[in-house]
Amino acid sequence: MLEASPVRAFSDNYLWLIRAPRDGRSAVVVDPGDARPVQAALDEQGLALRAILVTHHHPDHVGGVAELAARHGALVFGPARGRMPCVHRPLDDDDEVSLAELGLEFRVMAVPGHTLDHIAYYGHGALFCGDTLFSAGCGRLFEGTPSQMLGSLDRLAELPDDVRIFCAHEYTLGNLQFAATVEPGNVDVLEALEAVRALRAQDAITLPSTVGRERRINPFLRCREPSVRTAAEAHAGAPLAEAAEVFAVVRAWKDGFR
């Protein structure tokens, strides 16, 4: 199983440090928004940074890229569509990231919505999805349309149930509180809410999640479920014909949810 450990940064970001399966001494980091905690984790674990994977251009995901790449001579992979500085290997949908000497290989999935350049990395039964999919939630639509984001989430939801999901933020508790408002009868949501509340009371991480779990608890992956549609229609005060309309209502509802 792929070994990835979270590096905490800012108020609630997770920068994921992947240990190379082939030699156990090399590492790859996903979305290093801040170089300092990544360097501290590398030092602590005795790892050499060999590559950097970037999902999208937001500063809390790229802030440490230049410094880490220069310091370690690490190869930087990132979206081809973005306004991204210092990307050595620009990537688009269905491209492969092959780091054979580290024993790592990922398939790139274009997942526009949060931003238009957003990509996710899938491999070794793991998904690094940046700010597209969170546990029990999804990213805000800064650049894309609801139907773009729904299309992206649908693709992620089609991955096998046991794929582990490494999200970029600790948003799970707030997301589940919202999910329980949308689907008060969803027992999986209520159970997850209790478990996550206990974890967060100890400041423990709630990730990774899995695709199977998200299909049960994430309202944004459940826009075609009658319970979510009915709740969205009640919130909108109008019938909603398409899943993308349901998604748009639930996303806007979440934006204003406290």
Task: Enumerate binding residues for Zn ion (CB under 5 A).
Answer: 58, 131
Spell out the residues 6+ positions from residue 183 whose beta carbon is closer than 8 angstroms to its own: 189, 219, 222, 225, 227, 228, 231
Q: For this structure, is 61 an active site residue?
A: yes
Q: For this structure, is 57 an active site residue?
A: no
The residue behind tokens 């790229």 is 62
| Cα–Cα distance measured from residue 139 to residue 58, given in angstroms and rounded to the nearest whole number | 12
Measured from the CB atom, the residue of 58 and 213 that comes closer to Zn ion is 58
Measured from the CB atom, the residue of 132 and 218 that comes closer to Zn ion is 132
Measured from the CB atom, the residue of 117 and 183 that comes closer to Zn ion is 117
Strands 26-30 and 48-53: parallel
Q: For this structure, is 58 an active site residue?
A: yes
Measured from the CB atom, the residue of 31 and 183 that comes closer to Zn ion is 31
Query: Do 250 and 228 contact (CB within 8 A), yes or no?
Result: yes
Q: Which among 58, 72, 118, 124 is annotated as catalytic? A: 58
How many Cβ atoms sit within 10 Å of the Cβ of residue 248?
21
Q: For this structure, is 118 an active site residue?
A: no
Q: Could you tell me how many residues make up the chain? A: 258
Minimum CB–partner distance for residue 169 and Zn ion (Å): 9
Q: Which among 31, 56, 72, 124 is annotated as catalytic? A: 56
Q: Which among 60, 72, 117, 118 is annotated as catalytic? A: 60
Minimum CB–partner distance for residue 60 and Zn ion (Å): 7
Minimum CB–partner distance for residue 131 and Zn ion (Å): 4
Minimum CB–partner distance for residue 144 and Zn ion (Å): 12
Q: For this structure, is 235 an active site residue?
A: no
Nearest alpha carbon to residue 191 among 179, 201, 203, 182: 179
The residue behind tokens 């081809």 is 80
Indicate the SS3 state at residue 121. strand
Q: Which among 57, 72, 114, 124 is annotated as catalytic? A: 114
What is the set of active-site residues? 56, 58, 60-61, 114, 131, 169
